[in-house]
Amino acid sequence: MYHINTAIVSLLEEKFIQFNQPNFIPNDPICIPHQFSHKQDIEIMGFWAAILAWGQRKTIINKCNELILLMDKAPHQFITQHQPQDLKRFLSFKHRTFNATDTLYFIEWFRQFYAQHDSLEVAFCQHITPNDPHIGKALVGFHQDFFSLEDAPARTQKHIATPARHSSCKRINMFLRWMVRHDTQGVDFGLWKKIKTSQLVCPCDVHVDRVARKLGLIQRPKPDWQTALELTESLKQLDPNDPVKYDFALFGLGVEGEM
């Protein structure tokens, strides 16, 4: 890891301020959980929006809104109170390789989880301590718990990443950024308090990866879990307590470059 020069620091600070604004919300998948005020609704639809976040952002948002309608615009209430016959409406739901089998398993896992816990935060924070340097153990533990139900479909495992398979875990890291980060701009929710922002790992999608390489923030040849950790360590030079805030800057620079 090399020392980041002042020009790059200034650029990332400028772009963080530019993109960490309420006007970022409507065209990003984060607009999905922002439709709700109930914590459990925000968690459920935030998780789903993050997991479905591949492809065009407009399509992702449309598919998530379709899910919301299928759950009668009340995700947590539907998850906890639906009847078996209510599930038939999901048989035609599909987004890229995410299909009805995956959808129904998500609903069943959420049903069993919320029967025992008040917040999805428990599913992650129970696997780490405040002294852990990052949330890697939380992601591994969550993946194991998520697929612990009897008859968990093998095909669904490809939709939930884990460091145990060397994935960069972009979508889960993005979801955790949404739930944990808190500032005055109101883009991220900051609902969860048991995971520290310093433990978050930067979501490493194609935009972020490309820009970070151009800026010399990562050296590893391929995007994987170690690359995400390398990027986060570089960003900790700028802000050791909240390194993933620069996800806004890196993603924004990537999108600007495309435009």
Average pLDDT over residues 149-167: 95
Residue 214 is classified by DSSP as: H
Distances (CA, A) of 184 to 117, 131, 188, 190, 197: 28, 26, 9, 10, 15
Whole-number Å distance between alpha carbons of 105 and 78: 14
Position 209 scores a pLDDT of 94
- pLDDT for 259 equals 39
pLDDT band at 55 (very low <50, low <70, confident <90, very high): confident
Query: What would the two tokens of residue 206 be?
Result: 């194609």
Q: Please tell me whether the overall predicted TM-score, pTM, comes out greater than 0.85 for this model.
A: yes
Which residues make Cβ contacts (< 8 Å) with residue 43, sequence separation at least 6?
Answer: 33, 119, 120, 121, 179, 191
pLDDT band at 1 (very low <50, low <70, confident <90, very high): low
Residue 216's nearest CA partner among 239, 237, 234, 240 is 234
Phi then psi for residue 156, to 5 deg, are: -75, -20
- The pLDDT, as a whole number, for residue 257 is 72
- Contact (CB, 8 A) for 160 and 51: yes
Give pLDDT, residue 242: 98
Helices 57-70 and 39-51 sit at what angle, rounded to 10 degrees?
140
Q: pLDDT tens, 219-245?
A: 999 999 999 999 999 999 999 999 999
Residue 128: pLDDT band with limits 50, 70, 90: very high
The stretch 160-177 carries a mean pLDDT of 97
